[in-house]
Amino acid sequence: GLVNTREMFAKAVHGGYAIPAFNFNNMEQLQAIIKAAADTKSPVILQVSKGARNYANPILLRYMAQGAVDYAKSLGWEHPQIVLHLDHGDSFELCKDCIDHGFSSVMIDGSHLPYEENVALTKKVVDYAHQYDVTVEGELGVLAGVEDEVSSDHHTYTDPEEVIDFVTRTGCDSLAISIGTSHGAYKFTPEQCTRDPKTGRLVPPPLAFDVLEGVEAKLPDFPIVLHGSSSVPQEYVDIINANGGKLPDAIGIPEEELRKAAKMDVCKINIDSDSRLAMTAAVRRVFNEKPAEFDPRKYLGPAREEMEKLYKHKIVAVLGSEGKA
């Protein structure tokens, strides 16, 4: 069956790699994630947001994710390590509903609340979840942009002085922190970037690794999570823009920085936007090149292939989780 994150995080923290947490809303994404994980023998976290649950229907989504374990076995993966995780849970009730219906892990995102309220809410979820051996991710610090339906125009980096108190008092199993990543395909404004004189491409400012180091100094070997970790591959942006799309100056986190974070105590890296871009690039290309095509399998099939390629690349070349399951 599905597993929680406890053992895989302990191994990842000590092994110097990170587990991919890929969001999914639909069958093609799920198939691509499982195929990529099975082919590379990588532990994987299937991540479902509140919006994804509403889009796909909570019942269907849950059965799809549970079916993914058998699907993985049918692909020759003997002992699949697959987590079903609620992404950005915003209330005790939502977390409880997921825990009661087969999720093996949940996030309670109280990062926008005053500190003491975040502690109280996270502890309440942990106390409930641990009765069912479900693991819990908490968050300290605020990412710029839209997170959990709350938007912020600037990052509030995690304060390393708070993390011991938060983790001890809540009992959470992992901690999401803010070090300069953000959700979506526009992680930096052109004004925050410099320009590569040769290619003309935007070059983003570095992440706040000093904050991550500060957290690690306070909480050695504690599983740290990075949200907003899509790299926004420029080849996808170019394909989208060349085929009728409009994503000017889309920009993400350089893979080199994610590689570095994965070698540190970061053991869960969240990626959603890159999969959306892979899918959109593939679909736009088919629509543009084969305007007579109207069988969804003829455009969702190529989209699925492109996502599988992307997920494998993340596992093998960025997070280092290949062969760990």
Answer yes or no whether residue 49 interacts with ligand G3H by CB under 6 A.
Answer: yes
Residues 2, 65: Cα–Cα separation, whole Å: 9
- Interactions with Na ion, residue window 261-280 (CB under 5 A): 262, 266-267
Answer yes or no whether residue 183 interacts with ligand G3H by CB under 6 A.
Answer: yes
Q: Toward ligand G3H, which CB reaches closer, 60 or 217? A: 60
Q: Which window, 25-33, 90-98, 226-234, 248-256, contacts Zn ion (CB under 5 A)?
A: 226-234
Give the H or E element holding residue 138.
strand 135-140
Task: Please give the distance of CA 289 from its chain centroid, rounded to a whole number.
Answer: 32
Give the Å distances, CA to CA, from 42 to 39, 67, 114, 226, 242: 8, 18, 37, 18, 34
Instruction: With H, G, I as helix, E, B as strand and everything else as coil, classify residue 60.
Output: helix
Place of tokens 């076995």: 73
Answer yes or no whether residue 111 interacts with ligand 13P by CB under 6 A.
Answer: no
Contact with ligand 13P (CB under 6 A) among 204, 228, 233, 245: 228
* Cβ-proximal residues to 96 (8 Å cutoff; 6+ apart), any chain: 125, 128
Task: Please give the distance of CA 275 from its chain centroid, rounded to a whole number.
Answer: 10
Answer yes or no whether residue 285 interacts with Zn ion by CB under 5 A.
Answer: no
CB of 267 to Na ion, least distance (A): 5
Closest by Cα among 160, 110, 108 to 129: 108
Answer yes or no whether residue 227 interacts with Zn ion by CB under 5 A.
Answer: yes
Active site residue 249: no
From residue 134 to residue 173, the character string flagging contacts with ligand 13P as x (rule: CB under 6 A) and all else as - is ----------------------------------------
Instruction: With H, G, I as helix, E, B as strand and everything else as coil, classify residue 270.
Output: strand
Numbered residues of the known binding site for Zn(2+)? 88, 109, 139, 183, 227
Q: Write out the residues near ligand 13P by the rule CB under 6 A.
A: 23, 87-88, 183-184, 227-230, 270-274
Q: Write out the residues near Na ion by the rule CB under 5 A.
A: 18, 262, 266-267
